[in-house]
Amino acid sequence: MLKKKSEFTIYPITVLQDNIVWVWVHNCNAVVVDPSISGPVEKWLLEKNLELKAILQTHHHDDHIGGTQKLIKRWPEAKVVASKKELTRIPFQTFSVNNNDIFHLMDSEIKVIEVHGHTNNHIAFYISKENSKHNILFPGDTLFGGGCGRLIEGTPSQMFESLYKLNSLPKNTKIYSAHEYTESNLKWALTIEPKNNSILKRLKLIKNKRQKGMSSLPSTLSEERETNLFLRAENVEEFTMLRRHKDIWKC
């Protein structure tokens, strides 16, 4: 049963190994973020009699765009919003955006934030609404619960700058990351700061959620500021050390 008249009603569809496709619902309309595959998303939308209005694409990796073309065959009027710099790698985009662009969907203002690092031309979507208790961030693979994305194409300095941008948002911003990595990330963080009470407390809560089959997400920027070592790194050198350590760490 879908909620009615909620400021932000966002539902997770878990697919593949650990991807989360977020579906933002308003009245009878929906916006889908980074659909890895189409089947579960199409089924979910049809079961709830929702009209797909747009697909937000943060970057070009197949586990984020793999389901888009089939979805727009079913809903041909749906906009595909993606970086204008990714016309080659996301050629089916129909609404191209640049850094700091602002557009509107479902009575909300959405700002595009360019966040290089995981890939070149990766973007995040920041949704704000007047008088709302929480703003919303879809960071793709840039910011995770307790972590950040691997540097596939970008540099440590680019990712450090990208995280700085996201960390500048209001602390009550809800973060809807694209993967369920929080528990693993916090376990790693404890190897760096084993006596960090904030990390210990959050990990306990996350383990309890996961044991009940619940998602660890969304988190808030306030939570990440306390427990995400990458977000707390004071300079590029510290960030680089942490990223290298995480890259070779095994749970």
Domain containing 135 — which CATH number? 3.60.15.10
Name the domain count of the chain: 1
Give the pLDDT confidence of 107-131 residue by residue, as tens digits.
Answer: 899 999 999 999 999 999 999 876 6
Q: What percent of the chain has pLDDT over 70?
A: 96
Asked if residue 10 lies in contact with residue 176, where contact means CB atoms within 8 angstroms, the answer is yes
**Under a CB-based contact definition with an 8 Å cutoff, are residues 124 and 159 in contact?**
no
Crossing angle between the packed helical segments 182-192 and 197-211, to the nearest 10 degrees:
150
* pTM of the predicted model as reported, rounded to 2 decimal places: 0.95
58-89 pLDDT tens trace: 999 999 999 999 999 999 999 999 999 999 99
Question: Is 49 a member of any domain?
Answer: yes
> DSSP of 105-139, one letter per residue?
ETTEEEEEEE--SSSTT-EEEEEE-TT-S--EEE-
Residue whose token pair is 């904030």: 198
Q: Which residue range(s) make up the domain with 179?
A: 9-248
The confidence band for 161, taking pLDDT boundaries of 50, 70 and 90, is very high
The yes-or-no verdict on residue 7 having pLDDT over 90 is no
Q: Is residue 134 part of a domain?
A: yes
- Measured over the CA atoms of residue 233, residue 238, residue 239 and residue 242, the dihedral's sign is negative
Is there a domain that residue 2 lies in? no
| Helix 156-167 vs helix 236-248: crossing angle, to nearest 10 | 110
The closest of 75, 155, 68, 67 to 115, measured between CA atoms, is 155
